[in-house]
Amino acid sequence: MKVEIKVPAVGESITEATIAEWMKKDGDFVNKNDVLLSLETDKATVEIVAEHAGKLTIDSKAGTVVKIGANIGSIDTEAKGTAASPTPTTEAPPPPPSSAPSQTNEILSPAVRRVVTENNLDPANIQGTGKDGRITKFDAENATAKQSATPVASPTPPPATQNIGEDIVRRVPMTTIRKRIAQRLVEAQHTAAILTTFNEVDMTSVMAAREKYKERFKEKHGVGLGFMGFFVKASIEALKAFPAVNASIEGEELLYKENYHIGVAVGTPRGLVVPVIRNADHLSLAGVELAIRDFAVKAKDGKISPNDMSGGTFTISNGGVYGSLLSTPILNPPQSGILGMHKIQDRVMVIDKKMEVRPMMYLALSYDHRIIDGKEAVSFLIRIKECLEDPSRILLEI
């Protein structure tokens, strides 16, 4: 009996995916639960496993964009055989001894294997930072960058007729996630009336609290005390005070969300992803920091799933980690607001008619003016500023 291999539903609002790589070849015998292929969606990479043992037939090649539910191959369950494996030679010499453990292609993840293969990397020369020393995609891409930056001696001199003035262009197909990012950014600009309002916050109190309690906090909760936790909790207080910022438009109706699912933008080698901390209002500051840490690890290892990034009601983006002093973040549809954090920089401020040097951060709130009035947007940002300049407000919810 032939069992069709269909593209599964891989997340809310995702209608298509790209076949990134087949791990098995056409005609191979596969066992149940063998990884057959990896799908790249606009949000994550997903591995598809065999639900039955049998002979594999591939109908759609790697690189093909396929719709959710489409048939991309089949498994003949009546075929007999064993899983494909390298054919041993009768007098194969033993492998050379090595002092360092190496990771063969068989135990690399699909995303890592693709980077290693495309760039002719030797896994034995890559230092793995994943669990049990496994090589992550981030490790492989770092190795690629180092390889490109290292000059390679060549015994053959360049041709005497080299055309120095010729333009050199390298064409690289856009990944599914990059295409989706581009599409959503344009969609946001065309469908929402986006405005941005700015303010600044004195980070003295937050920085003092971090300095005073960071060691005890980490000792008790097993996670560092970062800035993002304070911003998430401050944003929730502001969203409670100004519900329109937590709302969205659907047709001719306004949907006021009574849950606080906060998206936290995370940069990865594949592009920006926004995992969502669900019901963040029910989490302690430590709970928020733990959730952020877990997402950061998953993003680094390429393990962020579509469900991790679905259902957000408000987003926080931190351009400050890249050194940005001021920016205008773009909405993450269908959300109506996004908060932009920026670099903390010492500036001279007038405090009680005296000049003092304070650690200041510019804040930006981009919002959909169809839902949120200017007064609400400014008041929302001021509420965040108040909570950060006096963190006890967060605890007291005032």
AA identity, residue 187: E
Question: How far apart (Å, rounded) are the C-alpha atoms in residues 181 and 174?
Answer: 11
Catalytic residue among 26, 122, 373, 390: 373
Please, what is the angle between helix 137-149 and helix 110-118, to 10°? 10
Residue 373 annotated to the active site: yes
Q: What are phi and psi of 24, to 5 degrees?
A: -115, 160
Question: How far apart (Å, rounded) are the C-alpha atoms in residues 121 and 267?
Answer: 24
Name residue 47's beta-bridge partners: 38
Cβ neighbours of residue 42 under 8 Å, at least 6 residues apart? 14, 176, 177, 179, 180, 181
Question: How far apart (Å, rounded) are the C-alpha atoms in residues 25 and 34?
Answer: 12
Helix, strand, or coil here: 51? Answer: coil
Q: Residue 320 in contact with residue 301, Cβ under 8 Å?
A: no
What are the angstrom distances between the C-alpha of 118 and each of 18, 115, 144, 174, 300?
18, 5, 10, 16, 20
| Residue with token string 């180092």 | 146
**Residue 133: which of 97, 99, 103 has the closest Cα?**
103
Sign, CA torsion 182/188/189/195:
negative
What are the angstrom distances between the C-alpha of 197 and each of 231, 336, 375?
17, 13, 10
Catalytic residue among 26, 122, 282, 369: 369
What are the angstrom distances between the C-alpha of 117 and each of 22, 108, 149, 210, 299?
13, 11, 18, 44, 22
Question: How far apart (Å, rounded) are the C-alpha atoms in residues 88 and 94?
Answer: 12
Q: What are phi and psi of 174, to 5 degrees?
A: -70, 140
Token code pair at residue 105? 């292609």
Q: What are phi and psi of 62, to 5 degrees?
A: -60, 140
Q: Residue 359 in contact with residue 202, Cβ under 8 Å?
A: yes
- Beta-carbon-side half-sphere exposure of residue 157 (alpha carbons within 13 Å): 3
Q: Residue 341 in contact with residue 317, Cβ under 8 Å?
A: yes
Catalytic residues: 369, 373
